[in-house]
């Protein structure tokens, strides 16, 4: 503890505090808490016993971390952010076990946000100031509001053709366009228009980059819900928003880009080992997805940290 700074007006009862951590006035750390190295615990912070804090964590003034909270490395927690650990609290009535809340590596929580118990804030996620988080937040997602909902993704490229309304694709545009995300391409499908209406068509062997083995349709999705949030080991997908609109995010582990799809004449090929997420569905959105393989639960990668590790290999 000799390499830990504890202000004379702070109370640190824990012996498990890493080198270089600073604890400022009127903060109180209980004996069972574990803090990593190079953390900054600001004024009037309270840290209960069953709390695990990683390295290089910043906890601003007025934050309380209750039993059942895990904060991983490089997390920022803004002033007066509120954590909870009991969905149905009563005075002098305690649950057998407090629900565990996990804030994953590199996430940020804005000032005055409220985090309900038993959820996970994904790696790199951004919780807006004043948000009330009632459910787990995907990796790299930005959430705001009450209840918090996804409004975007951190570091997703929205510049130029990376954020395109697909109805604006010119009739003489190239059939295929690279996206800057490894292997992901946008396809312009054949379209025919006359006084009777419009028709878009595709031949599997000619217009799609693979021969589909199955299809599925996503529809009636509440606008705040998020679909996908996984990668495939071997399966290819081809997505067409045949009604309404939705936002598709693709991530190869290095580049992350978003696209708005709102036309049945444009599709996206998502190859294996691409993290895909779909969100911001309009009320009438219908997303048609062709897949190259039959359903196999073992083909899915649902943990973003595992995906990043596999990509790096």
Cis bond upstream, residue 147 (ω within 30): yes
Residue 53 exposed, middle or buried by CB count within 10 Å (0-12, 13-18, 19+): buried
Do the beta carbons of residue 47 and residue 65 sit within 8 Å?
A: yes
User: DSSP assignment, residue 211?
Assistant: -
Non-local CB neighbours of 165 within 8 Å, separated by 6+ positions: 260, 262
Cα–Cα distance measured from residue 265 to residue 167, given in angstroms and rounded to the nearest whole number: 8
Out of 28, 161, 163, 230, the active site residue is 230
In the residue annotation, 230 being an active-site residue is answered as yes
User: For strand 5-6 and strand 22-23, is the pairing parallel, antiparallel, or unpaired?
Assistant: parallel
Q: Is 49 left (phi over 0), alpha (psi -120 to 50) or beta?
A: alpha
Residue 231, token pair as written in the block? 């990668």
What angle is formed at CA 228 by the lines to CA 225 and CA 233, rounded to 5 degrees? 170
The distance from CA 12 to its chain's CA centroid, rounded to whole angstroms, is: 34
SS3 state of residue 160: helix
Three-state SS for 2-27 is CCCEECCCCEECCCCECCCCEECCCC
Do the beta carbons of residue 273 and residue 219 sit within 8 Å?
A: no
Active site positions, annotated: 230
């Amino acid at each position: 503890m000799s390499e830990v700074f504890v202000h004379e007006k702070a109370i640190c009862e824990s012996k498990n505090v890493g080198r270089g951590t600073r604890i400022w006035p009127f903060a109180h750390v209980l004996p069972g808490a574990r803090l990593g190295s190079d953390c900054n615990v600001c004024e009037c912070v309270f840290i209960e016993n069953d709390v695990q804090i990683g390295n290089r964590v910043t906890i601003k003034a007025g934050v309380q971390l209750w039993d059942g909270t895990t904060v991983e490395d490089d997390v920022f927690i803004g002033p007066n952010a509120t954590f909870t650990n009991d969905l149905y609290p009563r005075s002098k009535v305690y649950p057998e076990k407090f629900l565990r809340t996990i804030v994953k590596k590199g996430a940020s929580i804005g000032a005055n946000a409220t985090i309900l118990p038993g959820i996970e804030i994904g790696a790199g996620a951004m919780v807006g100031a004043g948000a009330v988080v009632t459910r787990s937040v995907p990796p790299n997602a930005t959430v705001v509001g009450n209840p918090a909902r996804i409004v975007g993704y951190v570091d997703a490229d929205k510049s130029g053709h990376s954020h395109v309304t697909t109805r604006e694709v010119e009739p003489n545009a190239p059939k295929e366009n690279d996206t800057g995300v490894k292997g992901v391409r946008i396809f312009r499908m054949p379209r025919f228009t006359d006084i009777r209406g419009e028709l878009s068509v595709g031949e599997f062997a000619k217009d799609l980059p693979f021969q589909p083995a199955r299809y599925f349709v996503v529809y009636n999705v509440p606008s705040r819900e998020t679909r996908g949030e996984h990668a495939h080991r071997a399966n290819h997908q081809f997505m067409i928003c045949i009604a309404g609109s939705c936002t598709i995010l693709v991530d190869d582990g290095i580049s992350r880009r978003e696209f708005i799809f709102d036309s049945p004449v444009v599709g996206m090929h998502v190859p294996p080992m691409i993290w895909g997420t779909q969100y911001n569905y309009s009320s009438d959105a219908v997303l048609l997805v062709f897949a190259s393989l039959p359903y196999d639960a073992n083909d899915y990668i649902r943990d973003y940290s595992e995906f990043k590790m596999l990509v790096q290999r």
